[in-house]
Structure 1
């Protein structure tokens, strides 16, 4: 769907069973911090790149015919 997918340094998940318990998941917090930084960086690239590179025009979608 033409999505830009920011990544992190591992699965984008933090663990906890009760409210506040996720705060004890140091690895999960780091993963979310890296993900947030990467998301911000990509949004800045897109924002500044719109001035330089035009958005591609949408292609006409070709549909598969499964009944032959």
Structure 2
């Protein structure tokens, strides 16, 4: 369970986003989102190389739970 400081941070961030135009707050969150996408793509690249990995990726893709850039 998360403590109250986590909730306070979320509330501060929500207020910041509401009070500022997207061009301001995207500078804060853009690099984080970019990093998450890079890490996810690297994971799927590694998964594609292991036995049965491509099939696992296909099952995930067909489940609708993920969308991927082109993977093998």
Q: TM-score range by the shorter chain?
A: 0.3 to 0.5
Instruction: Using CA pairs under 8 Å that are at least 6 residues apart, name the structure with larger relative contact order, 1 or 2.
Output: 1
TM-score by length of 1: 0.40
Which has the greater radius of gyration?
A: 1
Q: Judging by fraction of residues, say which structure has more helix.
A: 2
TM-score by length of 2: 0.39
